[in-house]
Structure 1
Amino acid sequence: MDSCTANLMSRLSSIYSQHRTSGLRSDRSIMPNSTSNSLRTISSVHLPYNHRARNFHISHAAGDSSEHVIINGQASPCKVVQADAAALGTIAADMAPVVDGFSADDDELDLDSPTEGFSSIPEAIEDIRQGKYVIVVDDEDRENEGDLIMAASKVTPEAMAFIVRHGTGIVCVSMKEDDLERLELPLMVTTKENEEKLRTAFTVSVDAKEGTTTGVSANDRANTVLALASPNSKPEDFNRPGHIFPLKYREGGVLKRAGHTEASVDLAMLAGLPPAAVLCEIVDDDDGSMALLPKLQDFARRENLKIISIADLIRYRRKRDRLVECVCVTPLQLQWGSFQSYCYRSLIDGMEHIAMVKGDVGDGQDILVRVHSECLTGDIFGSARCDCGNQLALAMTMIEKTGRGVVVYLRGHEGRGIGLGHKLRAYNLQDDGRDTVEANEDLGLPVDSREYGIGAQILRDLGVRTMRLMTNNPAKYTGLKGYGLSVLGRVPLLTPITNENRRYMETKRLKMGHVYGTRPSGNTSTLADGGIKKEQDQIDSASEQE
C-alpha cells in the first residue's frame, strides 16, 4: 500500500466501524487491481439524492493523489486537498466577526488589523527593517510556539547574545533555495527521509572560516550569519559542520507553508532586505520548556518587542499578492442560458477555478454575485443532505433573469474545506447523532476552513467593485469585504428545506450564524415550521427582494 492510500485509509477508517440500521450504510471494499483497472475503493457511504438512495464510493487511483467518487460504477475525479492547504485558510467561520442580522454597510474590513493581543504586520516589518527582533507565533494546532526572528543581514554580536540567552541555543538561518545551491549547502537528509514532525528542511550546519574561532560564541555565530546573508559569499567560505543551521525556505512563503522558516524570509523581503533571516525558538525562563503564548506575550512586553501571528501574516500577504491568473475564456451554453466562462489558476497551489459571467460587468458596479464553494455530492449528484446544489441552481437562474452577474465557483472547498473523504466521514457521524459542526470537531477538523481571497481576486480581475452578494453566510460576506470589494447588500438564497437537510440548515443558522430571509433577525419560519417551499416560489421571492 503506498503512502497516499495509507493516508486516505487512515482518514476514512472510522467510516467502516458499523452498518446503519436506518438504511444509510457505510462499507469498505477493495476492487481488484490490474494494469487495466487500478482504481481501488477505500470508502463508501450511502446517501439520499434526488429522493433516491445512491452508493457513493471514494476511490484512489494508483500512481496519483486524486480521489474519485463512484456512483453506481461511474467514476469522477475529485482533487484532494493536500495537507498544506489547511495552512492557507485563515478566515474561518469561527474566527470571523459576528455580523448581527448580517447587515451590509459601507465599512471596509481591514485585513491589516492584527488579531487581538498581537502587533500589526506593518509594525513588525518596520522593526525588521531597523534590525530589531520580532516574535512570530504559529498556530496552536501546529507547534504553538514563538520564535525570535530578525533579518540575517542586520545581525550583531549583541543581538546574537540576546537570542542565545532567551532561545534554545539552536540558531537557524532561513534561506532561499537558490542561495543554498550557490553555497553548495545540501539538505541534512533528503525530503523523503525527513522524519521531523513538520518536515523542517535543515541543511548541513556551517561556520564561517574567516573571523571565527570555536564558532559557538555570539561573535562567531553572528559572523557566520552575516556570511550566509551576503550575496558575495562562496562555498569555500564555510566549514561543515558548524554551529549555525541553515533552513530551506519554501517558495511562496507562508502562502505555501505556514511555518516560521517561511515567515522569517517573508518578513525580511517585505522589509526590502536580502531574503535570509535568523530564527530561534524561545524557551520559558522558569523551567526551560517551550514558551507558549501567555509567556511569549509577557516576554514581548518586558523586552519591548513586537509579537505577530503567522495567520495575520498570511492575511496580509493574501491581500497584496497576486494569487490567480486567468488562463482561458470561452463562451458556454448552459441550461440557464449563455455565459462566458473564465478559468483561473491559483498561483499558490495550481488549482483551477471558474467564473461564469452573464452580460457586461465591465463597469464593475452593482453586480449580482455568487461565490460558490465546491460541493461534488450536492452540485453534481444532487445530494439531499445539503442545499448546495439548489443554491447554485438558484443563483444561476437569478443571474440569467437579471441579465448580468457573476458566479465564482471555488474548488478545494469541499465539505467547508475539509475534503471529500472527510465530508463523507462527517456524514456518517451525523447519522450517529452529531450535527454538522460536532461531526467536524469529532474528526479533529475545523468547522469551516474556507478562505475567500482567491474568489475576491477573481472578482477584482473581472472588474467587479460593488456587488449584491447572493449568500446566507456571514463569513463569506466578511471574507470578501477586506479585498477592496464593496458589498451593497445581500440577496438571500431561499432553497427548499427537506427532511434530509432540515437539521443541517438549522445547525448552520444556530451555530454558524447563517441568515435566511431579509429581516435582520433572519427568516427562520421555514425551518421552524418544517415547511418545504417549491423552488419556483423561492426564485420569485428572491427576485422580488433584489
Structure 2
Amino acid sequence: MTQSIAAKAQNDSPSIPTTDLVTVSRAVADLRRGEIVLVQGHMDGVAHSVAVIAAEPLSQNGFDRLCAISTENDSPAIVLPRVRAKSLGVACKEDAFIAFVSGNVDDIDAARLGEIANPLLDLDQLPDGDWRSVTMAESAAIRLAKLARLLPAVVTVPITADQLENLVRAQNLLVLQSDSINGYEDASAATLREVSQARVPLEDAENATVIAFRPEDGGQEHLAIVIDEPAKDQPVLIRLHSECFTGDLIGSLRCDCGPQLRGAISEIAKSGQGGIILYLRQEGRGIGLVNKLRAYALQDRGFDTLDANEELGFDADERVYRPAAEMLRQMGFESVRLLTNNPEKLKGLESWGVTVAERVPHTFPSNGHNEFYLQTKKDRAGHLF
C-alpha cells in the first residue's frame, strides 16, 4: 500500500537545519554575483575544502582573488562537465565532471576560463595543463552552480583548515557543507508554507483560486491553481506544470507547454469536479530560463532537447517532485488523477507518498515547429503519446 503523504513527509522530514538552508540560499546569490564561496566535503573522515567561483560570472578581479588564495602547489582548476571536456578533445573517464589545471597560471585569465566553460564556443586549443578527478567538495560546488541556474562549471582552489578560518574572518565568506548543498532541494521543499491566496478568475475557469507556497529559506514560490472545489475524499484531477516563460507567456511554438497549461485549465473546469494545477518553478526541466535558451541554441545546431541539456552539463531532466507532494499534503489531498504523458511524473509523485489513481492522457497536436521535440520526448523520454 502506498504510504500516505503525511506519513512520508514525516519520515523524510529535513535533516538539514533551516540555518543551513538559508546559508545555501545566500550562497546561490553570492555565486550568481561572481563572489567566492567556501565548500567543505568529507571523504573517509577527512575534510577537504575549496574556494569556489562560478565560471559563468567570473571576473578578472574574482580570478585574481582566487589566485591570491592558491599556493605554488595548487593552481586554480576549472571543473567542467564530461561532455565539455570531450568536445575539447579530452578522452576522460565516465565521471560526470572533470577538472582542468593549467600548467602555467599566467596562460589563463577570467576571459579564457569563461571561453573554456562555454559549451556554445568551439575552441582551437587549450592551454598546457593536466586533467584530474574532482573532489567531493567540487562536486557539491557544481550542484550549487546548478541551484543558481548558472552553467555547471566552477573555478576552484583547495584551501587548508587554517585558510578557511582566515578567509571567513578576513573576507566574511560563507562556508557550506557538501551534504547541505546536495540535500537542499528536498529539505527546502519540506519547509514550504502557504503565504498568500486570492480568487483569480481565469479565461476558461472563472471559479479559480491561486495559492502561493514559499520555503522557509526564502526561496522561489510555487503556486497551486485550485479550480472550483475539488473533493478531498476521492482522487483529485491535477496537473504538474513546470513554468515555461517562452511557452506559457509569449506563445513559443518550440514546445507544447502553453497548450498543455491552458488545456489543463479548460479540462479541469469542464470536468465538473474541480481540480488543481501545481505550477512549479522549474523552468526548462529544472535548468532555468537562461540555460534553456542556451539549449535552444544547441538544438538549432542539431541536438535534440535531451542531448542539448546534457551538452550544457545538466541531466536530461533536473526536476524534483517533493514540492508538488508537499503542497498537496498541506491542501489535504492524498490521491490524484494526473494529467500527464510523462511516466516520470507518476514515479516522482509516488516516491513522495502520493497515490496516483489514474493517469489521464494530455496530448495536443504538433504545430509545425515542435514535431522533433515531441518525437524526442516519445522516443527517448518515454512519454506516452
TM-score w.r.t. length of structure 1: 0.40
Q: Paired residue for 2:209?
A: 340
Question: Which residue number in structure 1 is paired with residue 198 of structure 2?
Answer: 330
Q: Is the 8 A contact 1:357 1:406 kept in 2?
A: yes
Quote how far apart the aligned CAs of 1:487 are.
Answer: 0.5
Residue 483 of structure 1 and its aligned partner are, at CA, apart by 2.0
2:321 equivalent in structure 1: 452
Q: Following TM superposition, by how much is the alpha carbon of 1:460 offset from its aligned partner in structure 2, in angstroms?
A: 1.2
Residue 406 of structure 1 aligns to a residue in which SS?
A: strand
Partner of 1:408 in structure 2?
278
Displacement of 1:344 after TM fit?
1.4
The question of 1:461 aligning with 2:330 is answered: yes
Equivalent residue, structure 2, for 1:440: 309
- Kept in 1: contact 2:40–2:177 (CA 8 A): no
Shift of 1:481: 1.1
The CA RMSD over aligned residues, in Å, is 4.1
Answer with 1 or 2: which has the greater Rg: 1
- How many corresponding residue pairs? 250
How far has the Cα of 1:425 moved from its partner?
1.8
Q: Distance in 1 between matches of 2:244 and 2:228?
A: 26
Q: Matches of 1:193 and 1:349 in 2, distance apart?
A: 32
Which residue of 2 is the match for residue 470 of structure 1?
339
Q: Distance in 2 between matches of 1:194 and 1:349?
A: 30
| Partner SS, residue 341 of structure 1 | strand
Please list every run of 5 or more consecutive structure 1 residues that lacks an aligned counterpart in the other structure.
1-105, 114-120, 126-142, 149-162, 173-190, 199-240, 250-256, 267-309, 517-546
Structure with a larger share of its residues in helix: 2
Shift of 1:375: 0.4
Structure 1 letter corresponding to 2:203: Q
Cα 1:402–1:247 change in 2 (3 A) is: farther
Q: Structure 1 residue 482 and structure 2 residue 378: aligned? A: no
Alignment of 1:134-173 (within 5 A): 147-148=43-44, 167=46
Indicate conservation of the 8 Å contact 2:340/2:359, yes or no. yes
Matched, 1:371 2:225: no
Q: CA deviation at 1:502?
A: 0.7
Q: Distance in 1 between matches of 2:364 and 2:192?
A: 31
CA contact 1:248–1:261 (8 Å) conserved in 2:
no
Which residue does the alignment assign to 1:49? none
Change (3 A) 1:359 1:428: same
Contact 2:4–2:334 (CA under 8 A) maintained in structure 1: no
How many Å separate the matches in 1 of 2:300 and 2:369?
11
Same amino acid, percent of matched pairs:
35
Q: Identify unmatched segments of 5+ residues in structure 2.
A: 17-38, 51-61, 70-75, 78-159, 169-173
Shift of 1:363: 2.0
1:354, 1:336 → 2: CA distance?
18
Relative distance call for 1:361 and 1:145 in structure 2 (3 A) is same
Partner Cα distance (1:387, 1:247) in 2: 52
Asked whether the equivalents of residues 171 and 244 of structure 1 are also in contact (C-alpha less than 8 Å), the reply is no
For 2:198 and 2:162, locate their aligned partners in 1 and report how far apart those are by CA, in whole Å. 57
Kindly indicate whether structure 1 or structure 2 has the higher relative contact order, using CA contacts under 8 Å at least 6 residues apart: 2
**2:370 pairs with 1:501:** yes
> TM-score, normalised on structure 2?
0.56
Instruction: Indicate the residue corresponding to 2:177 in structure 1.
Output: 261
- In structure 2, relative to structure 1, the CA distance for the partners of 1:472 and 1:245 (3 Å cut) is same
